[in-house]
Amino acid sequence: MSIEPTMNLFVKKTGGWVASQLEACTRCGMCAEACPYYLATGKAEYAPIWKVEPLRRAYEQRFTLIGKLKVALGVEKALTDADLKAWSKVDFEACSVCGKCSGACPMGIEISSLIATVRAGITAAGLAPAGLVEKTEMQMKCGSPNGMCEDEYIKWFDSLEEKTGVKAPLDVKGADMLVVYTSLEIKDKRHNLYDLAKILNAAGIKWTISMDARDAFNMGSIIGNPKVQKELAGKILNTAKKLGVKQILVTECGHGFTTLRDAVPNVFGEELPFFVTHIAELLPNLIKEGKIKVKEGYFKNGHTYTFHDSCKIQRQGGIMDEPRYALKLLAGDTFKEMDSIRENGLCCGGGGGIRSIPEANENRLAAFKLKLAEVEKVGADVVVSTCDNCQLQLKDGFKHYNKAVEVKGLIEMVAEAMI
Amino acid sequence: MNTQTMLELARGPIFYGALLFFIAGMLYRLVTVISLGWNKDLAKPRGDKATGVVKSFLRGGIIFPFFPREKAAYARNPIVYIAGGLFHLSLFIVVILGAAHMLVWKSLIGFGWPTLPLPIVDWMAAVGIIAMVALIVNRMVHPVMKLLTGVAEVLNWLFVFLPMITGYMMTHHMFLPYENLFVLHMMSINVLLVWIPLSRISHFMFYFFSRTIHGVEWGKRNAMP
Ligand code: SF4
Ligand code: SF4
């Protein structure tokens, strides 16, 4: 194994955007106090800025006089393979790339973006966790990271007709909207297809699905492999262009949404000819605009609801008001807010691919405990989320700690409350 | 060499040499970072980037000291928050609003400004010194800060602390003759001026980059920076 691919990637990534932020860090340690993995375990090496250390060293040693001097004087060692191996455990097993740390940094450094670069460097060295490598290979082979290959999707899409009487709108040219699901839904939330069809049809939206753009999941974004990211996202981009849609709707995927909306234009060097939206944004807007009607207070049924802000959809996606609008309408005053919400939302502990790394189970469940404490404090027995991966982690966590808390998605709630 | 000559040197050619090094060094740092290149962001913004930047600076520079966004995080490491804040405040009051320092500025840039009464400046200097002591103790005992602290961080602290303590001793005529303290004060400032471009104390310049980036990123999503 060689350090060269990592160094090349770091050098390629080091523009002024990265360098100026690395230079701004005062090593004050405040970012640690926001990180769920550090807080849950107390391990100093889980401090967000420590996760950026390989990139800082590479940058300083390659681009700055003082960095070169430090190596020459022996104050600092050049980055080695062994270092990357050690940091692989930290950056992948104790970080969900949730971005909470950047809100705590007095300098406003976008630490999680820098961590994503470190992860890419580790991946380039072939040192990414085996669980993630396996999922990446699987997605490259069959289109979805968890083995939901084409035939499974065909069966799922076909089942729409049985369930709703409406045929699946496959590859409809000139449709308004291309809907892209995730392989987590086909596995664990098959009803999302039927529920969303009911909503979109009621709203009079001309929508389509495509076998060429069947999974928003992007293992390239998760593991930090730019080539994989480009290839997978390219399929969706090209399908949307081919069909001439005006919008892409990502259903319950978080990173898939930000990849398409924020990364793809820069990866392909072009502004997108369509709008990328998420159900967390679309569904409440459909209600607000009167395109669908829901029974107000439908979920005022003796339960207490709370909303889990997902890192990619809410903090990094900016869709914070819309789901709250819908929930207030549906659950009224039985909807209660936790302590850490919106931009300050607390990660469920299961993002950034950490759920596919068995070695990280302990960290993942420890981080979940912080979320659990907030859910319990607000007295909620139903947690609503607009991200599939978060929902799985929340269900897992509540089960692990023996808590009778239900987890619901927004799609199913809106579909159920529709009149 | 007598003290008087040393003082003349320390506040004369050595000071100007250090100042030149500081300016050239900071320019070098600035140019090297900028010349690494900046990519245009082609993603469609959901919110307004300019609003994000304004909010980022408001929060970072003005509102932050009182309402940090991640309140819980600040409460977990209050020493960094409180002592760090007081240190920066003290620095501003003593170096900008202290009469003696204002006169140095005036001689350098040609104009002056109203200053604060000496007792206030003096108290703030003491506050700054206490804050610095708290910061280094915290750095030595907090597990994360220990991990983040190398030789450079200790030198940063030392080279900032020396001008503060010698300046304070000077105003109070403590321990050594005034002139000797003046020499020490000037020399410690000279060392600091040379050290800043070589170290992370230069964060005051890159702060404007990181805060702007933060504002752009969060404003773009229509989130609160
Ligand atoms: S909070 Fe910001 S400035 Fe402080 S150590 Fe973390 S990244 Fe650096
Ligand atoms: S992105 Fe989230 S999980 Fe990762 S270091 Fe920052 S706060 Fe911790």
Chain B residues closer than 8 Å to A263 by CB: 43
Q: Is residue B64 part of a domain?
A: yes
Q: Is residue B7 part of a domain?
A: no
| 3-state SS class at A408 | strand
Q: Given ligand 2 and candidates A30, A347, A357, which is best to mutate, with the most ligand atoms within 8 Å of its CB?
A: A347
Ranges of residues in chain A whose predicted pLDDT is under 70: 1
Chain A residues closer than 8 Å to B66 by CB: none
Pairwise CA distance, residues B167 & B180, whole Å? 11
Q: Is residue B136 part of a domain?
A: yes
Residue B64's pLDDT is 63
Atom of ligand 1 minimally distant from the CA of A27? 5
Indicate if ligand 1 lies below 6 Å from the C-beta of A71.
Answer: no
Pairwise CA distance, residues B133 & B165, whole Å? 11
Whether the domain at A3-128 and the domain at A292-417 fall into the same CATH topology: no
Domain-wise residue ranges, chain A:
3-128, 132-287, 292-417
Whether residue A117 contacts residue A223, with contact meaning beta carbons closer than 8 Å, is answered with no
| Domains contained in chain B, number | 1
Indicate if ligand 2 lies below 6 Å from the C-beta of A315.
Answer: no
As a whole number of Å, the CA-based R_g of chain B is 20
Residue A133's pLDDT is 98
B139 CA distance to ligand 1 middle (Å) = 13
Q: What is the mean pLDDT of residues B42-66?
A: 85
Q: Is residue B199 part of a domain?
A: yes
Q: Is residue B100 part of a domain?
A: yes
Distances (CA, A) of A270 to A234, A237, A262, B42: 12, 11, 11, 7
Range of the domain at B114: 48-218
For residue B53, give every residue at least 6 positions away whose Cβ sits within 8 Å of its Cβ, in sequence order, or none: B211, B212, B215, B216, B219, B225
- The string of pLDDT tens digits covering residues B184-214 is 999 999 999 999 999 999 999 999 999 999 9
A344 CA distance to ligand 1 middle (Å) = 17
Residue B65 pLDDT greater than 70, yes or no: no
Residue B109: how many other CB atoms lie within 10 Å: 8
Indicate if ligand 2 lies below 6 Å from the C-beta of A363.
Answer: no
Residue A125's pLDDT is 94
DSSP per position, A258-323: HIIIIIHHHHHTS--SSEEEEHHHHHHHHHHTTSS-B-TTTT-SS--EEEPPPIIIIITT---HHH
Q: Cβ B36–A16 below 8 Å, yes or no?
A: yes
Whether residue A167 contacts residue A161, with contact meaning beta carbons closer than 8 Å, is answered with yes
Distances (CA, A) of B24 to A292, B15, B29, B104, B106: 64, 14, 9, 20, 21
A22 CA distance to ligand 1 middle (Å) = 9
Q: Is residue B122 part of a domain?
A: yes
Sheet containing A335-336: which strands, arranged edge to edge? A335-336, A305-307, A382-385, A406-409
- Identify the CA nearest to B105 among candidates B6, B168, B17, B19: B19
The class level of CATH for A3-128 reads mainly alpha
Residue A26: how many other CB atoms lie within 10 Å: 22
Nearest to A344 among B70, B217, B221 (CB): B70
Nearest CA in chain B to A31: B73
Q: Cβ B218–A15 below 8 Å, yes or no?
A: no
- Which CATH number describes the domain made up of A132-287? 1.20.1050
Q: What is the mean pLDDT of residues B168-181?
A: 87
User: Cα distance from A42 to chain B (closest Cα, Å)?
Assistant: 9
Indicate if ligand 2 lies below 6 Å from the C-beta of A95.
Answer: yes
Share in percent of chain A as helix, strand, coil (round to 5): 60, 5, 30
Q: Is residue B161 part of a domain?
A: yes
User: Between residues 366 and 395 of chain A, which touch chain B (CB distance below 8 Å)?
Assistant: none
Q: What residue spans of chain B are helical by DSSP H? A: 3-11, 13-34, 49-57, 71-76, 78-97, 99-109, 118-141, 143-148, 151-171, 178-195, 203-221
B153 touches chain A (CB under 8 A): yes
Nearest to A24 among B150, B207, B220 (CB): B207
User: Cα distance from A162 to chain B (closest Cα, Å)?
Assistant: 38
Whether residue A254 contacts residue A314, with contact meaning beta carbons closer than 8 Å, is answered with no
The class level of CATH for A292-417 reads alpha beta
Query: Does this model's pTM top 0.90?
Result: yes
Whether residue B95 contacts residue B89, with contact meaning beta carbons closer than 8 Å, is answered with no
Q: Which of A12, A23, A39, A314 to mutate to test the interface with B (most CBs of B within 10 A)?
A: A23
